Amino acid sequence: MKKVGVSILGLGTVGGGTYRILTEHAEFFRRTQEVDLVIESVLEQDGRKTEALGVPAEKVAQNIAEVVLDPDVNVVVECLGGVNEAREYVLDALNAGKTVVTSNKELFCKFSHELERAAKRHNAGLFFEASCVGGVPIIRTLLDGVQSNEISRIMGVINGTTNFILSEMTEKGSNYADALARAQQLGYAEADPAADVEGFDAAYKLSILSSLAFHTKVPYTKVFREGITNISREDIEDGDSLGYVLKLLAVGKRSSAGVEVRVHPAFVRKDHPLASVGGNYNAVFVTGDSVGDVMLYGQGAGALPTGSAIVSDIIFASTHGEMRYSTFKNGAAPEKDMKFLSDFRSAYYLRLTVDDEPGVLAKLSSILAKYNISIVELIQRTAKGEAGKATLVLVTHETHELAVKNAVAKLNATGLARVESVLRVAL
Ligand code: HSE
């Protein structure tokens, strides 16, 4: 039976989950995959982590050189997180001809060209299923499940932390700060939650997924990004009364006009399949020209779900002779003739405070009309805590992002309305 030696760099949540799966399922892998996956070493300086997992002392490597010089190590699993040290260690491993499996989306997103070049030069594999949407096999689906299709859209809820926070605000009526504190208490959100709540994590994932889906390099810097830190309970409640649920949505589209990639909060109708993706769960839609819509749903984070993706990559690497690389031109920059669209189309939700007096609605709709924005739904109520003022909540027909930006600036400038919130509505 083929024996494959594995070394794990970092025994945090994901590395620990990988260690557990490899040790607890070794016999299952021998029986079902005909491969003997043996942990040769771990690189982890925190003795509490190695002890908690019962790692034998002789398997704890002292430095990266020990790992990459070990002829018994075939696959190096990078679960360090961060970019600097991880990049250096991954390059060391690839340059030594070791196949690398990583869960590091920021590293892969920013340096895939450099890592892939090193992998090709040394005939090593480079696998990254765990970098996007944890245990959900979206990368394998794009590479091996729907590769016969031209993909026009990839859309989903691809960050569990923000989905948990928005679900808490929706279901329990929590405000943003309390929901974030609860996410931190449960270990979903980091002490510094910026990567999740500002949408960076989702933007990195969308950059990787849309590069694979559209066969062209989509740098993360091209992803329009807006986080959830300004979301108020009022918006969630108003959306609810109009039949919508708020999600941090990632959307990638490719058409003859170019590529559009964006991460932002968006209302989805309560009967949309993404509306029922609650808590820290994730879901991704892929739309192909032959297959139509495919939806994958599952846990986008956590020790065992993400460990599942890593071990699946190790098995794939161990049981396939040929190495496989990007299906797009993986240079430092995108292809020269690729157009990235910034003025996308969407429907919009606006919450405004206006004077509660005759003629205001007429003036408002006439300003919107100048920007070719048409109202679908409208609610008016007395503004909370402001005498003589009214709150208007409206949803528009599909229009251009730029038109809405300009109309909002005009409304604020004329003093006719104070625009409190602008959110997109996914139709
Ligand atoms: N922090 C991510 C999330 C998981 O909340 O979905 C790792 O990408």
- The string of pLDDT tens digits covering residues 222-231 is 999 999 999 9
CA distances (Å), origin 123, targets 68, 76, 320 = 15, 14, 13
How confident is the model at residue 234, as a pLDDT?
Answer: 94
* 378-399: average pLDDT: 93
Number of neighbours of residue 30 by Cβ within 10 angstroms: 15
Tens of pLDDT, residue by residue over 106-139, are 999 999 999 999 999 999 999 999 999 999 999 9
Place of tokens 């996956």: 37
Percentage of the chain lying above the pLDDT 70 cut = 100
Q: Furthest-apart CA pair in the chain: how many Å? A: 83
- Asked whether residue 66 falls in the same domain as residue 164, the answer is no
Give the domain CATH number at 122. Answer: 3.40.50.720
Cα 159–Cα 289–Cα 323 angle in degrees, nearest 5? 65
Residue 313 lies in a domain: no
The whole-angstrom separation of Cα 232 and Cα 422 is 12
Asked if 392 and 416 count as a contact pair (C-beta separation under 8 A), the reply is no
Gap from CA of 372 to ligand 1 centroid (Å)? 38
Residues 312-350: pLDDT tens digits?
Answer: 999 999 999 888 888 888 888 888 888 999 889 999 999
Same domain, 120 and 144: no
Q: Answer yes or no: do 291 and 354 share one domain.
A: no
Which tens digits make up the pLDDT trace of 402-413?
A: 999 999 999 999
* Phi, psi dihedral angles at 260 (to 5 degrees): -125, 125
127 and 144 co-located in one domain: no
Beta-strand relationship, 345-355 and 244-255: unpaired
Residue 208 clears pLDDT 90, i.e. is over it = yes
Angle between helices 176-185 and 160-172 (to 10 degrees): 130
CA of 203 to the centre of ligand 1 (A): 11
Domain boundaries, position 190: 139-299
- Same domain as 357, residue 219: no
Q: Write the CATH number for 270.
A: 3.30.360.10
* Distances 250 to 71, 204, 221, 332 between C-alpha atoms, Å: 42, 10, 14, 23
Check pLDDT > 80 for residue 401. yes
Q: 22: pLDDT confidence band, cut at 50, 70 and 90?
A: very high
Inside any domain, residue 316: no
Report yes or no on 255 lying in a domain: yes
Are residues 396 and 375 in contact, defined by beta-carbon separation less than 8 angstroms? yes
φ/ψ (deg, to 5) at 48: -65, -35
Q: Which atom of ligand 1 is nearest to the CA of 306?
A: 7
Q: Is the pLDDT assigned to residue 427 strictly greater than 90?
A: no
118 shares its domain with 248? no
> Do 126 and 240 belong together in one domain?
no
Across the chain, mean pLDDT equals 95
The answer as to whether 410 is a domain residue is yes
| Same-domain pairing of 147 and 29 | no
Cβ atoms < 10 Å from Cβ of 2: 12
Residue 304 belongs to some domain of the structure? no
Indicate the residue among 299, 318, 334 that finishes a domain: 299
- For position 191, what pLDDT does the model report? 84
Ligand 1 pocket, CB under 6 A: 159-161, 188, 196, 201, 300-301
Which residues are catalytically annotated? 205
* Among candidate residues 281, 299, 317, the one where a domain is terminated: 299
Question: Does residue 280 sit within a domain?
Answer: yes
What are residue 283's DSSP bridge partners? 157, 297
Are residues 263 and 285 located together in one domain of the fold? yes
* pLDDT one-digit tens code per residue, 158-200: 999 999 999 999 999 999 999 999 999 988 888 889 999 999 9
Beta bridge partners of 421: 351
Distance from Cα 210 to the centre of ligand 1, integer Å? 18
201 CA to centre of ligand 1 in angstroms: 7
CA 145 – ligand 1 centroid, Å: 24
Q: Is residue 405 part of a domain?
A: yes
Residue range 71-75: mean pLDDT, rounded = 98
- In this structure, are 169 and 292 located in the same domain? yes
Which pTM does this prediction carry? 0.95
Q: How far does residue 367's CA lie from ligand 1's centre (Å)? A: 41
Average pLDDT over residues 16-39: 98
Burial of 233 (0-12, 13-18, 19+ CB in 10 A): middle
Q: Which atom of ligand 1 is nearest to the CA of 161?
A: 5
Q: Indicate the pairing of strand 126-127 with strand 281-288.
A: unpaired
Report how far apart, in Å, the C-alpha atoms of 423 and of each of 141, 173, 268, 377, 396 are.
Answer: 31, 19, 11, 14, 11
Residue with tokens 């939806």: 295
Give the span between the Cα atoms of 245 and 269, in whole angstroms: 6
Tell which of 299, 316, 333 closes a domain: 299
Atom of ligand 1 nearest to the CA of 205: 8
Check residue 330 and give its pLDDT: 87
CA dihedral 350→356→357→358, nearest 10 degrees, is: 40
Q: CA torsion sign, 222 to 228 to 229 to 230? A: positive
pLDDT in tens, 357-387: 999 999 999 999 999 999 999 999 988 888 8
Residue 415, phi-psi category: left (phi > 0), alpha (psi -120 to 50), beta (remainder): left
73 and 151 housed in the same domain: no
Rg (CA), the chain: 24
219 plus 278 within the same structural domain: yes
Task: Look up the CATH number of the domain holding residue 399.
Answer: 3.30.70.260
Establish if 288 belongs to a structural domain: yes
Overall domain count for the chain:
3
